Amino acid sequence: MAIYSKAEPQKTISGIGWPDVDKEGRFIGIQFKHLSVISLYLPSGTSGEHRQSFKYQFLDRFLIYLNALDQST
């Protein structure tokens, strides 16, 4: 996974800090002074009940993550 940018970001984030998600390489982000960009590869949940459950858990956790980002600005 990659994000291409003409301008060099102030910060690059590889992984969201959740080991179960980060081991699958699903999140990368870059931060500029007034802009953050996230590239996210969502779990599909099409490989059975276990993966569907993982997808729903991921979405619930990611919503909390996004709300925390929104509160920090």
Per-residue pLDDT tens digits for 22-52: 998 989 999 999 999 999 998 887 778 888 9
Question: Is 5 a domain residue?
Answer: no
The range of the structural domain enclosing residue 56 comes to 11-71
| pLDDT band of 4, cuts 50, 70, 90 | very high
> What pLDDT is stored for residue 8 in this prediction?
95
Count how many domains the chain has: 1
Please give the helix or strand (H or E) that residue 63 lies within, else none.
helix 49-71
Question: Is 3 a domain residue?
Answer: no
73 has pLDDT over 70: no
Question: Is 4 a domain residue?
Answer: no
Question: Is 17 a domain residue?
Answer: yes
Distance CA 30, CA 13 (A): 6
Question: Is 44 a domain residue?
Answer: yes
Backbone CA torsion sign across 52, 26, 17, 66:
negative
Q: Are 16 and 27 in contact (CB under 8 A)?
A: yes
pLDDT digits (tens, 9 = 90+) for 60-72: 999 999 999 888 7
Q: pTM here?
A: 0.76
